[in-house]
Structure 1
Amino acid sequence: MSDILNCLLEKGNYPEHHVATFGQTSFDIMINGNKKKVSHGKGFRSYLNSVTVMALSEYINKNALYKPEFLIIDTPLEGLSEKYTDNPDESMRHGIFELFMDRCKSYQTIVVENPDHLPSDIDFKHEDINVISYENEEGFLKEI
């Protein structure tokens, strides 16, 4: 699990993290031996939760008898604007969505995210991704 976590963090443009491990007791990611709650703000924890779930899903799909082969992630970028930065790191936004798109090549992946949190440099229509938005009382509207 630790190898998968480190690989995903690197590919996802996470700031230098040194060593990520998977705590078998806490069943959660640890960065440099610290629990994420101690060492990271809300937005980074949300990001790390998404990476941890992707790593766990990858591990299960490679090793388990029963493989769900799909993943649903809710608001992976929620709260990413940390107090000490004016803007969340756009490369992290881009990086995690690149991880999602890479995962989509093999497994169904559903990501629920606020439109204003999406990376501005990815053309989701060009990448053949279904984008569905919710518009007030009108319900769900599929964007083409």
Structure 2
Amino acid sequence: MEAELKTLNARNDNITKLITRQLRPRAAELRETVDAYKRILLTRQDIYAIERMSTELSVDVFDKEHEEDDTTQKFDAKEQFDKDAWKTLSDRFGSMVKDCAYPNKPDAHIYIDTVDAVVGGKHKKNEGKGYRAFLNTIMLFNLMKYLEEHGTYAPHLLILDSPILSLKEKRIKMTSKEAATPGMKTSLFRYIIENCGDNQVIIAENEIPEDVDYSKANLIEFTLEEGIGRYGFLKSEHN
């Protein structure tokens, strides 16, 4: 019996040592793992809640930004011009369209709702590219003249890039039917020179009408050739 008891005690000691040395540390590790997993689950729940709140706030911000605010005064440039100003601009536009040899000399005016040209009952957006460029030039020139006479701070300056859109413009695809007629081009340049007044009008154009008196204008030809005209816009820069 004593021998058997010693054997059992030895086994008990071994089991106790096993529990103390291996199983208890392992159990502690498992508890830490379980706690870490619980923390991860809680963090995920927090992240989900934050994402949901962020989405709701984004929707609220979008709705707030796009809702109508009756207390905010909206600026409408058209309202800054009285009826007399619109009539003056429109009448002058119609006269210049005819003076610049628009085909068939149609009635033309500026439509207030779109602040754009209507020629012969046809809105400018429905015209060809060349005709649109032509009409834009007339509108800008007349606005410059109106500001010269009525503006508190008149710029006295107008810069135009290809106002007659030649068919040689490589950057713009245009058919011959869309291009302004030679008579329109000549009349437009002549009108600008004769009616420029105390303003400076700078025109960049590849090809200008020949049958126009340019004695009152300063012509600068850019050639990219030494000794002929002007080489380029910047005198210090050469290819």
2:133 aligned partner, one-letter code: S
1:42 corresponds to which of 86, 109, 129: 129
User: Identity of paired residues, percent?
Assistant: 30
CA distance in 2, matches of 1:60, 1:132: 27
Is the radius of gyration larger for structure 1 or structure 2?
2
1:113 positional shift: 0.7
1:122 positional shift: 2.1
1:63 equivalent in structure 2: 150
Q: CA RMSD in A?
A: 2.6
Shift of the 42–104 alpha-carbon distance from structure 1 to 2, 3 Å rule, reads: same
Unaligned runs of 5+ in 1: none
**1:108 pairs with 2:200:** yes
What SS does the aligned partner of 1:62 have? Answer: helix
4+ residue runs over 6 A deviation: none
TM-score, structure 1 as length reference: 0.79
1:134 corresponds to which of 222, 228, 235: 222
Higher helix share: 2
2:108 equivalent in structure 1: 20
**1:89 pairs with 2:181:** yes
Higher strand share: 1
1:132 positional shift: 1.3
Query: Is the CA contact 2:128–2:177 (under 8 Å) kept in the aligned structure 1?
Result: no
1:119 equivalent in structure 2: 209
2:199 aligned partner, one-letter code: Y
2:118 corresponds to which of 5, 18, 30: 30
Unaligned runs of 5+ in 2: 1-88, 168-173, 226-230
1:73 positional shift: 1.1
Shift of the 88–70 alpha-carbon distance from structure 1 to 2, 3 Å rule, reads: closer
How many residues are aligned here? 136
1:78 equivalent in structure 2: 165
TM-score, structure 2 as length reference: 0.50
1:60 aligned partner, one-letter code: L
CA distance in 1, matches of 2:143, 2:180: 25
